[in-house]
Amino acid sequence: MSVERTSPFSTALVTAGAWGLAILWILPLAYAIWTAFHPAIYAARLDLLAPWTLENFSRAWNAAPFARYFLNTFMLVSLILVCQFVICTMAAYAFVCFPFRGSNLLFMAVLLQLMIMPEVLLVENYRTLSRLGLLDTILGMGLPYLASAFGIFLFRQTFKSVPKELEEAARLEGAGPIQVLLRVFIPVAKPTYIAYGLVTVSYHWNNFLWPLIVTNSVETRPITVGLQVFSTVEQGVDWSLVTAATILSVAPLLLAFLLFQRQFVQSFLRAGIR
Amino acid sequence: MRAGRLAGSRNALTSALLLLPAAVLLWVFTYQPIVTTVIDSFFSTARGRRPSVFIGSTHYETMVADPVFWKALVNNAIYAFTTIPISMALALAMALFVSGKLRGRGIVRMAYFTPTVLPMVAVANIWLFFYTPDYGLVDQLLRHFGGGGANWLGSKETALGALIVITIWKEAGFFMIFYLAALQQISPTLMEAAALEGASPWQRFRRVTLPLLMPTTLFVSINAVIGAFRLVDHVIAMTRGGPDNATVLLLFYVYQVGFGYWDTGYAAALTVVLLAMLALIALFQFGYADKRVHYR
């Protein structure tokens, strides 16, 4: 006796709603891509028979040092990723395995950074960076983000789930604290590292405000700031060119997302659930 | 005695070493700037030969009399209270769509989620083009329905709404993920039990699904509120706060005062207000929300 009464009509309605929303959601990006691949005269009118071209991309690529911008973003994101992994792992390991009086209180204090991200304090952080002589450097751009409360929180949660027996077995075999961390905790937390890595890469690949303030030259500007500098000059003049530059700058992350869609979604899920 | 104490505090020593890099960085870029922001807000901005001097609450008095500050506050409130409920409702609908049986579920889910991986600056550039009067996509579509011709970003009445639309477009897919995760955790037995009791699909949603999604809703909304105060990339890329301050948000105003007018003292006072907002949200989360929704 099945109680489930889903009529064909309501199923069709749900399907139509889901697909209608999906089309609405993908339309802006699809149209931007379409514009980027067609000659400038078609930017203003949609003509499905318009000829395809790569000319906008080559013009955009030659109009601004996008290769350098990509390199800068790549260096920034790598720096942040590696340092966050190391620094947050160390901190999380301390909170889980070497608790001391007040360590819980300290952990609560760390969580404050979840609310108050470094870019909210941009005026003071700019001043600090200028005192350190790190303005307009990739290190300076990454520095405020190297210790992430979110990372510490996430790794702590994962490390807490590691069975005590595993840890003690390793100790009995004579492993020191560092070996226990490397041989027991980090392997168990591998999915968390992947999840956190994807989230942090997308965050910093896309980050804009802080890099905008800190950078001042082609040698340091990440792709987001480079794109903005480029399109401020071109705005309203040549939409095909601006759209091509935009698509160009999002292409690496977008392609990575489309190829590893499942992992992306799973990672955001894992990182989002506490 | 000293040796004994050292042995007893070995945990603390190891901990201290492990925590040192994180502690130093968090201190330098989060805690110390909070303290100095508050202090700086009571001092004048140093200009040329004139050093910064204590001026008491002058910046705060300026702020109360500053129409742009109030405009930023009101705009931020409108922005938060429209983008958040709408994108969350859409997110829930999206999650329900792709969690059930649906043809082409993977493609639909991808369509919802894709805007999330784009940087806000790129989104802003794409939509600048769409909002162009007459030949942008929005006007081209509206022309079919007899509308169009509006300068969406150029007029006071529509500019903030235009930013709200793109924020919803970008964020809804992200929030969907959290609802999707929560929906997967709801046990099918519960649903079957409700169905056996004769509950209609709507009643099941209203009485079973929605209450079980409450923790997710709170978690997402708190993050969304923080986001509404933190993300101003599109304001910088699209409107620079204009026209006539119609799209000024609080953090954008801090940026403008701090790096456009270089009035760091006043920018500090504005930041204090921003910090106070975020502190209120934090208090709400730790005090109220955590108690009310954690029933497990």
- Over pLDDT 70: what percentage of chain A? 93
Residue pair B204/B195 in contact by the 8 Å Cβ criterion: yes
A234: tokens are 């071109």
Tell me what the mean pLDDT of segment B200-214 comes to. Answer: 84
Residue pair A185/A98 in contact by the 8 Å Cβ criterion: no
Question: ipTM, 2 decimals?
Answer: 0.87
Q: Assign A42 a pLDDT band (cuts: 50, 70, 90).
A: confident
Per-residue exposure over B225-239, b if at least 16 CB sit within 10 Å of its own CB, e if not = bbbbbbbbbbbbbbb
Whether B6 is covered by a domain: the verdict is no
DSSP 8-state code for residue A70: H
Cis, bond preceding B243 (omega within 30 deg of 0): yes
Ranking A100-114, A175-189, A246-260, B133-147 by mean pLDDT, the lowest is B133-147
- Chain B neighbors of A242, CB-CB under 8 A: 125, 128-129
CA distances from B56 to A67, B38, B39, B52, B76 (A): 50, 12, 10, 12, 27
Q: Does A246 touch chain B (CB under 8 A)?
A: yes
Nearest CA in chain B to A246: B122
Strand partners, B50: B47
- Chain B neighbors of A124, CB-CB under 8 A: 32-33, 36-37, 40, 268, 271
Give me the number of domains chain B comprises: 1
CATH architecture of A65-272: Orthogonal Bundle (1.10)
φ and ψ at B47, to 5 degrees?
A: -130, 125
Whether B189 is covered by a domain: the verdict is yes
Q: How far apart are the first and last CA of chain A?
A: 39
DSSP-assigned letters across all residues of B256-276: IIIIIS--HHHHHHHHHHHHH
Q: How far apart are CA A234 and CA A60, in angstroms?
A: 10
Q: Is the pLDDT of residue B227 over 60?
A: yes
- Under an 8 A CB cutoff, do B34 and A246 touch? no
Nearest to A94 among B19, B37, B267 (CB): B19
Whether B1 is covered by a domain: the verdict is no
Supply the angle between the helices B264-283 and B67-99 in degrees, to the nearest 10.
40
Supply the angle between the helices B105-117 and B67-99 in degrees, to the nearest 10.
160
Nearest CA in chain A to B33: A124
Whether B32 is covered by a domain: the verdict is no
Whether B4 is covered by a domain: the verdict is no
Residue B163's identity, in one-letter code, is L
> Could you tell me which residue, A146 or A115, shows the higher pLDDT?
A146
Tell me what the mean pLDDT of segment B116-136 comes to. Answer: 85
Query: Quick one: pLDDT at residue B129?
Result: 84
- Under an 8 A CB cutoff, do A31 and B140 touch? no
Q: Count interface pairs A-B at CB distance under 8 A.
A: 257
The CATH number covering residue B160 comes to 1.10.3720.10
Tell me what the mean pLDDT of segment B268-294 comes to. Answer: 79
Query: Quick one: pLDDT at residue A273?
Result: 56
Q: Is the pLDDT of residue B99 over 70?
A: yes
Nearest in space to A143 (alpha carbons), one of B34, B231, B29, B27 = B29
Q: Is the pLDDT of residue A262 over 50?
A: yes
- Under an 8 A CB cutoff, do B14 and A202 touch? no
Whether B33 is covered by a domain: the verdict is no
* pLDDT tens profile A201-237: 988 999 999 999 999 999 999 999 999 988 887 655 6
- Under an 8 A CB cutoff, do B195 and A3 touch? yes
DSSP 8-state code for residue A218: T
Which of A113-122, A124-133, B275-284 holds the top average pLDDT?
A124-133
Residue pair B256/B241 in contact by the 8 Å Cβ criterion: yes
* pLDDT tens profile B48-98: 788 888 888 888 999 999 999 999 999 999 999 999 999 999 999 999 998
Instruction: Please enumerate, as own/partner, the contacts of B31-35 that have beta carbons within 8 Å and a separation of 24 or more.
Output: B31/A109, B31/A112, B32/A124, B32/A128, B33/A121, B33/A124, B33/A125, B33/A128, B34/A116, B34/A121, B34/B275
Q: Assign B4 a pLDDT band (cuts: 50, 70, 90).
A: very low
Whether B101 is covered by a domain: the verdict is yes
Query: Quick one: pLDDT at residue B292?
Result: 52
> Could you tell me which residue, B8 or B15, shows the higher pLDDT?
B15
- Under an 8 A CB cutoff, do A118 and B29 touch? yes
* pLDDT tens profile A74-91: 999 999 999 999 999 999
pTM: 0.89
The torsion region of residue A238 among left (phi > 0), alpha (psi -120 to 50) and beta comes to: beta
Query: Quick one: pLDDT at residue B6?
Result: 44
Q: Does A17 touch chain B (CB under 8 A)?
A: yes
Nearest to A4 among B15, B22, B195 (CB): B195
Residue-number span of the structural domain to which B116 is assigned: 68-293
